[in-house]
Amino acid sequence: MKRNDTRIVLVAVALVALLFQSCVSSKRISYFNYVNDSASFKLPDSYTYANFEDPKITYNDILQVSVQTIDPAGMRGNTMIGTQESNNYAVQSGNAASVTTPGYMVNSDGEIELPLVGKVKVVGMTTKEAKNLISKKAEVYYKNPVVNVRFANFVITMLGDVGSPGQYNVSNERITILEAISLAGDIPATGNKENIIVGRDENGQKKFVRVNLNAPDFYNSPYYFLRQKDIIYVPPTTDKAISSDARTTRAFTNISFATTLITLSLTLYNLLSK
């Protein structure tokens, strides 16, 4: 083989190696790497979602509780607290727990205290179970009461390399880790999607686990669905650029790639020219 041909082969090998390295890096910063390049891709039968479990009420949770009746004289007996012009009687949750989060706080005894109904122990229950219990107690005072119970402080905390770190108040009790990441402005290219840490209160203790968003069995994880007070931390990749801005990162990567390629090509050329 001629010297010129040898140079071409070596430069081509170097170029392929660098391109391969670039492909590997792009896989580390992307989602859903396990999905085939086909519009007809289908998960296997064994690939199922984790079972969603209704969150349990814990100490210091804040609950929004409403008790309503369509009967304007719906109070048992001859005493009425109030009526509305629509002839709908309602007792709504007030500022009983917090100035910033209206609702009823679960105290150290696991109870909330409601007007007329009194103290109700709800710790360890789901909101549906608490609703049924409060309904039974409210029937003593209200005629055909309609009770609703929901979390007022279903909060998750997003930390680390995400678009907008902070606490997020979820409007419902069912949110996935992917939806939480979306709320926080997604994970930039510099964030490590394969080593996310989730902190969770379990049985009075804080438990931390690592979650790989690109693992094929990710949807089976018990941490796919989040619970109130979960903490999600996205660590940076080991080769995180100085700037967290995605455009700056891409530009820096392209410049580094081009510089490395030119340097390697010149070095090989000089060696083979001797």
pLDDT given at position 171: 83
pLDDT value of residue 178: 93
| Length, in residues, of the chain | 274
Do 119 and 112 form a contact (C-beta atoms < 8 A)? yes
Structure confidence at residue 110 (pLDDT): 95
Cβ atoms of residues 67 and 134 within 8 Å: yes
Copy the structure tokens of residue 182.
Answer: 């979306």
Distance of CA 51 to the CA centre of its chain: 16
Phi, psi of 268, rounded to the nearest 5 degrees: -65, -40
User: Is 152 within 8 Å of 64 (Cβ atoms)?
Assistant: yes
Q: What's the confidence (pLDDT) of residue 82? A: 30
User: Can you give the pTM of this predicted structure?
Assistant: 0.61
pLDDT for 235: 93
Q: Distance between CA 121 and CA 128 in Å, rounded? A: 14
Digitized pLDDT (tens) for each residue of the chain, 274 residues in all: 555 555 555 555 555 555 555 444 555 656 666 666 555 555 555 555 667 889 999 999 999 999 888 765 555 543 333 323 222 323 333 333 333 467 899 999 999 999 888 999 999 999 999 999 999 999 988 888 899 999 998 999 999 999 999 999 988 888 999 999 999 999 998 899 999 999 998 877 889 999 999 888 888 888 999 999 999 999 998 765 444 455 555 656 667 766 777 776 667 666 666 6
Per-residue pLDDT at 129: 96
Tell me the residue type at 185. G
CA distance 200 to 227: 8
- Is 13 in contact with 264 (CB distance < 8 Å)? no
Helix (H, G, I), strand (E, B) or coil at 122: coil
